[in-house]
Structure 1
């Protein structure tokens, strides 16, 4: 008899995570939702990671283990996604802890609307001693999430996402040339074919340590995220943008400077357009005017750009009212 397909496939890429991965695996196996398979991809670890995950696989038939040469986080995720048999793919990083109801709350949210292709969630940060460092609350609505991505503000983390497998069929997989911002690239591509939303619930606990990808690749993440936003802005303006130059370090630096200059130019033009036409782009709506007023005291061109765009997001429909409020803010 053919084995029934699981509803959910959890994918965890592992690279030198022997110190963390056991806790991660245990958190997944203790889920209140149990219709899942668990795929762990060892990405050429040089520590005992493979032995740790193999020992769990020997005890639980839901666990599938694959080992590959070191190819990077994006390719390790892709390997697991391609193996997945579930209709929904959950990405769980090897050093994060899944809350017991993670799969259940995200699966239920996914069932509420067939147009939803990605469901993310909030994250609780903690350090190696177990001390809580605060909660990163997820933006819940599609427009807010894309607006944040375009603005370069915190968006959604790949380790919190449940993704409908059909989204991968439509837009492809994670692209290695955009690491460590390959998730931002994927989110923007996915936004063209599905809704991206979040649940309020904390779905993972994120361990802050020196081996986090964010810490290891902070400068490159900054550069790549700038280029990603450059591409988003160009495409929102109806222009195709090729960013293949990210494969070459010298070209990457040049592309970064182009992207940074274009972003400043875009926001200057955008502010002028909105003020002259009375139009408010819906992708930049739904934020608090007060944030802009408060931040107006900041210095520098980037601060001013952010302030003006924030103020413009949800001002009154009347052009005169908006101009009056902006003038009042500038005088403050």
Structure 2
């Protein structure tokens, strides 16, 4: 660093920020450091933002570099432009509606100086409303910086961003322009954090010096730009999790038990995310396949997670292929394997063998009705008609959820699947049953998701599905759909 090189570069993207911009610029001036440069990008503002910027710039004792763009290209492009010309060892970003208290930059720079292995530092956040008054909200969780290891923090971030950009400072030598993503208008900071964690740890300054302004323009409903958010989340996680840098990060966790803990944590977080963006399930499966090649101590644990995910995706034969290559069955711990229930204690047939092979879980003694668990009945061919008088069995027949033992041939039947009397439970038979699952039932994941529907809007969707089932569901499945939705509505 020469005498002309600043220690800190402050980057400020602005778009139509005249209402709050004066407060933001004043808070930058109040930092009272002479080793600072400020890079401001006016991203095609149509209000008085540029005039406010030029008046403020002329009165500052430190270097201010301004870029005025002819049209609005978005915050990601503005940050790319600003950081491309930033010269400081450390980079701090602030929004045009946020405020820093005096000493903010000092605290973050000191934190990075004290922790040479850290790639970023964060201040604590206080929330204010449009009028600068305290706002009773909580958006970010910087307390996790003090309680989580680097690997834990990375895994927790996979569920979504909980770190505040205007409260951050990061090292320029740990940063690349690609860390912002590609046209990443919703999740550029999220992608930045994941990439910076590849480079080093995160630390907190232990001071609440960032005022984050909450107002109508920076809050959106859950459905606003939903498709774009889902796409950017998938694109971000694909770039990050399938990169060589992630592989190096994973191998850098030296203790095998810590790698397993990270793996389980990341797996659970990604499962949560797939409820918001289902396309991530495929990415999740690809990630686990990549990790099998990297893990020398615990490959069986990764394959257990692969098996679970295959079932969640309705890929029962993929689950079978995994268990063939890595002989272990995980059915008892996998919620997407259905239960098998004898209609009475004297049912003969390969019941235990099917459970042992991981095709079903033993439903004996399980409260199936209250739990809403997916289950099949097991009985002999000549007992089907006799049990139709029971409502639960009749419903299972309508939904093709009966496994018939001692049948004339192994094949799909109207009630479900039939097994010949001397059927041996081998991979060939399991493949046929799993083919039946995939073609007639798909993934059993959907039933667990429906049972979690708690809001009036979700229940309304269920009722619409019930009333429209005759319109878009193939005729053979209409009774099953109607019966299933009726049961779900009764529980509500």
Gaps of 5+ in 1: 240-254, 277-298, 305-332
Aligned mate of 2:215, from 186, 209, 219: 209
Length, aligned pairs only: 263
Which residue of 1 is the match for residue 320 of structure 2? none
Distance in 2 between residues matched to 1:217 and 1:100, nearest whole Å: 35
RMSD of equivalent CA atoms: 3.6
Q: What residue number does 1:185 align with?
A: 191
In structure 2, relative to structure 1, the CA distance for the partners of 1:54 and 1:126 (3 Å cut) is: same
For residues 279-290 of structure 1, the aligned pairs below 5 Å read: none
Shift in CA distance, 302/229, structure 1 to aligned 2, threshold 3 Å: farther
Matched, 1:269 2:300: no
C-alpha displacement of 1:35: 2.4
Partner of 1:149 in structure 2?
157
Q: How does 1:8-23 map to 2 (within 5 A)?
A: 8-23=8-23
Q: Which residue of structure 2 lines up, in the alignment, with residue 65 of structure 1?
A: 66
Residue 232 of structure 1: how far off its partner (Å): 4.9
Say whether the 8 Å CA contact 1:227–1:256 is kept in structure 2.
Answer: no
Secondary structure in 2 matching 1:192: helix
5+ residue gaps, structure 2, are: 249-275, 289-301, 310-328, 331-446, 453-492
Greater displacement, 219-228 / 63-72: 219-228
Report the counterpart of residue 92 of structure 2 in structure 1. 90
Higher relative contact order (CA 8 A, sep 6+): 1
What is the Cα deviation at residue 92 of structure 1? 0.8
Q: 1:258 aligns with which of 279, 297, 318?
A: 279
Conserved 8 A contact 1:6-1:37: yes
Q: What is the alpha-carbon distance in structure 2 between the residues aligned to residue 48 and residue 76 of structure 1?
A: 18
Tell me how far 1:110 sits from its aligned partner.
Answer: 0.3
User: Which one of the candidate residues 70, 75, 78 is aligned to 1:76?
Assistant: 78
> Contact between 2:179 and 2:195, CA under 8 Å: does it hold in 1?
no
In the superposition, the TM-score normalised over structure 2's length comes to: 0.47
CA contact (8 A) 1:110 1:119 kept: yes
Q: Secondary structure at the match of 2:175?
A: helix
CA distance in 1, matches of 2:78, 2:206: 28
The structure whose Rg is larger is 2
TM-score under structure 1 length normalisation = 0.67
- CA distance in structure 1 between the partners assigned to 2:206 and 2:104 by the alignment: 11
